[in-house]
Structure 1
Amino acid sequence: MSAQRTTLADVAASAGVSVSTASLAFSGSGPIADATRSRVLAAARALGYAGPNPLGRQLRRGRSGIVGVIMGDALRRAFRDPVAVQVLDGLTGTLGPLGLGVLLIPGPDDPSQPAVDPLLESAAMDVAVQMWGGTTDDPVLEMLRRRGTPTVLVEGTPQPDVAAVGIDDHGGMIELTQHVLGLGHTRIATVTMPFDRDRSEGAADPVRLAGISWEITRRRLAGVTDAGVTPTVVWETPASLVENGAAAGRALLSRPDRPTAIVCQSDLLASGVVLAARELGLRVPQDVSVAGFDGLDLPWLAPDVLTSVAQPLAEKGAAIGEAVAELLAGRTPEPRVLPVQLRIGTTTGPVPPGA
């Protein structure tokens, strides 16, 4: 008899037990004697039987054992961002011991693609994790609601029917901006993450600023303005990557009224601005101060060390995993907001003389 055709019934017959008893032997639990379990497993080895079909076991439990993680961006961009990688590492490290796997669902590569990946409509998942928040009318969240899928919303606005995990990025941006103000800077520009699915690039006018729909961008920009700063320029980028920060830096630092300080919404954007300053022959921080957000270790930026707001990336991933476990247990956890910490590096200093 081939291993491919061997069934649990064959194993049960060979061991001289019922099919239900043979099933208990493979489950690792239940009222079955050790000697009987050993006999069933020995019969399985002899017949080349690997064990019950995992899909069938999942169907009987009414669960897939899968957590869908909606990335919110194309994977080719997401996996170039250490923030996404470290949060996912913390998440999977928590889910693994729970016997849960992860299905990564990418966001659209460009605005012409549907906002909701077709996989989201059909994939089996016990819980969904929507990374990087969104808005209350987000089509992804609406799809998950229609499916009745328990959801963890990461860095979005807490809502009564979903679990929420975030960080105090608004407070962190206030503290970072106050640090820059304390150094004497008044001509301060800011480089932001995308405003919405359009992923535009350039200086944002008042109409564009009034239409920001992505929560993270809006909250971090509010941190700058709530610290008492009206930015000389708000430069929107299409993605939080080094090259986008470099493009913003070249544009801002080539202006006749160039800023003396640039506050960025991510460390990758800030590091790009630093590289642009070097390219233009400007010294950091003697000619321009640059600050970021995330607290990443960027040894390739040496000798500069970014002034940044550090967020607990691995801890945030673990908190998301703990929220998943709570939802699977039938409970909706309270919203969780993790603290952040200002870290002063070498890229911020006093306003240049005469500026």
Structure 2
Amino acid sequence: MSRRPPPVTLRSVAEHLGVSTATVSNAFNRPDQLSSTRREEILAAARALGYEGPSSRGRTLRTGQTRIIAVMLSDGLGYSLGDSVAGGFLAGIAEVLDDLGYHLLLLTDAGRTDRQTPSLNGVADGYLVYGSIPEEGTLALLRHQHQPLVTVDMRLPGLASVQIDHRAAALGIARHALAGGARRPAILALRMTLEAPGGPLERHSRWSQPNSVAIERLTGFDQALREAGHDPDRVALWNVDGNTFEAAAPVIEALLTESAPDLLLCMSDRLALTALSLAEQRGIRVPEQLRLTGFDGIAEGQRRRPMLTTVHQDSHAKGVMAARMVVGECHERDVVQPVWIIHGDTCPPTP
């Protein structure tokens, strides 16, 4: 019976080449320590011998590092990967991690209210929490890890964060829109709570698990309404529970029928673009009969006509900054990124 040949190890590759094991290890793990020519010689020899590189499990045991950064998403993976804003954010993270030799692990907290929170101990070298996630459950568990934790679009005591000033941005776009003298403004909110279904919302009801981003944007809208002489309690507030055409269309159809607004302040570009499409189908002229604004500045809103008036935020830059913070390349604690208004056709400036 033939004996199985011994496995090829880092040591055997080093002995074959007549170099130290540290030199072979550097070729795989610290390429900056070698010239490109020398590194390629070592990697070519390793491939010829059948050596695929150091074991990630062994490296973790030796260094205490996994070279993994985990991103906890408040929405499901399918939605997040297809959403322009979340996609830009993840692309920014991946750009930094690729350059530094880290791997990206995507996790989701969506729908976890009735499920047991998994153990995350030792899974990653750092965690990014994206979106509005309740402080109990997964987030509380992450707080007790020893690894760096950075929140994105959510500020919590004791944690580093990257965000935009949602309230100021909403105030700015609403002031611009209300300068046109709207008589029947309405607000189209995106997930005001993590549980409320789509449809009209009562402002004075107790919302369970409020979405902090939506609350901040509503606060900005309300301030602009008061400044323009409107009572926010009398302004129609409708909630959409998902940032997709399928979730938004039935709500917007009902809103256009029941409230007949002449201005619609939307908490996302996807909601605004859905409203624009439905208005066009109904023969409602934009902006002559209905002025509307979005929030995010996604490319789709700028490529069609009429072009969407919106708040632009750089989601890619947000991902880059968050990744640099969690891996220790940036030591800032609370980063507020700039935004600006895109003056499109759906709500042009007042002459």
TM range (shorter): 0.7 to 0.9
Deviations 1:117-164 (A, max 9, x none): x3x6356101111001435x342220101233321100112422x210
Give the corresponding residue for 2:91.
Answer: 89
Q: Which residue of 2 aligns with 1:188?
A: 185
Output the CA distance in 2 between the equivalents of 1:39 and 1:92.
Answer: 28
Aligned to 1:233: 236
1:20–1:300 CA distance, 2 compared to 1 (3 A):
closer
Which residue in the other structure is 1:74 paired with?
A: 76
Q: Which residue does 1:267 correspond to in 2?
A: 269
TM-aligned CA deviation for residue 297 of structure 1: 1.6
Give 1:192-207 correspondences, 5 Å limit: 192-207=189-204
- Structure 2 residue 341 is matched with structure 1 residue 346: no
Measure the CA separation in 1 of the matches of 2:213 and 2:95.
25
Aligned match of 1:141: 139
Which amino acid is the alignment partner of residue 241 of structure 1?
A: T
Query: 1:63 aligns to what?
Result: 65
- The 1:248–1:22 alpha-carbon spacing in structure 2 relative to 1, beyond 3 Å, is closer
Q: Can you list the C-alpha shifts for 1:292-320, whole angstroms capped at 9, x where unaligned?
A: 10111216973221110111122111111
Distance 1:292 1:123, change over 3 A: farther
The answer on whether the counterparts of 1:154 and 1:165 sit within 8 Å (CA) in structure 2 is: yes
Matched, 1:132 2:134: no
**Structure 2 counterpart of 1:222:** 219
Within 1, Cα distance between the matches of 2:103 and 2:221? 39
Residue in 2 aligned with 1:154?
152
Hey, what's the Cα distance between the residues in 2 that align with 1:300 and 1:220?
Answer: 22
Equivalent in the alignment of 2:293: 291
Matched, 1:167 2:161: no
- The amino acid that maps onto 1:240 is N
TM-score of the pair, normalised by structure 1? 0.84
Displacement, 1:61?
1.5
Shift in Å at residue 321 of structure 1? 1.4
C-alpha contact (below 8 Å) 2:73/2:129 kept by paired residues:
yes
- Tell me whether 188-197 or 43-52 shows the greater mean CA deviation: 43-52
Quote the Cα distance in structure 2 between the aligned partners of 1:190 and 1:214. 16
Unaligned runs of 5+ in 2: none
Q: Give the counterpart of 1:248 among 248, 251, 256.
A: 251
| Amino acid in structure 2 at the alignment position of 1:5 | P
Q: Percent identity?
A: 29
Structure 1 residue 192 displacement after superposition:
0.9
SS in 1 for 2:327: helix
Q: Distance in 1 between matches of 2:5 and 2:312?
A: 54
Deviation at residue 52 of structure 1 after TM alignment: 2.2
Change beyond 3 A, Cα 1:49–1:226: same
Secondary structure in 2 matching 1:234: strand
The residue aligned with 2:174 is: 177
Distance 1:196 1:171, change over 3 A: same
Distance verdict in 2 for CA 1:323–1:4, change over 3 Å: farther
Q: Distance in 2 between matches of 1:123 and 1:282?
A: 56
* Stretches of structure 1 lacking an aligned partner (at least 5 in a row): none
Distance 1:223 1:337 in 2: 16
The answer on whether the counterparts of 1:264 and 1:292 sit within 8 Å (CA) in structure 2 is yes
The one-character-per-residue Cα deviations of 1:64-116 (angstroms, maximum 9, x if unpaired) are 011101111112222231000111111111221111111011232x4765384
Per-residue CA deviations over 1:239-266 (Å, capped at 9, x if unaligned) read: 11233332232111101x4211110100
Structure 1: distance between partners of 2:80 and 2:41: 50
Q: Which residue of 2 is the match for residue 307 of structure 1? A: 309
Cα gap change, 1:310/1:5 in structure 2, threshold over 3 Å: closer, same or farther?
same
Please provide the CA RMSD for this pair: 3.4
Letter in 1 for 2:257: S
1:138-195: CA deviation from partner (whole Å, max 9, x where unpaired): 42220101233321100112422x2100002211110111112100013211111112
Change (3 A) 1:112 1:89: same
Q: What is the rounded CA distance, in whole Å, between the counterparts of 1:341 and 1:56 in structure 2?
A: 48
Amino acid aligned to 2:264: I
What TM-score, normalized by structure 2, do the two folds share?
A: 0.85
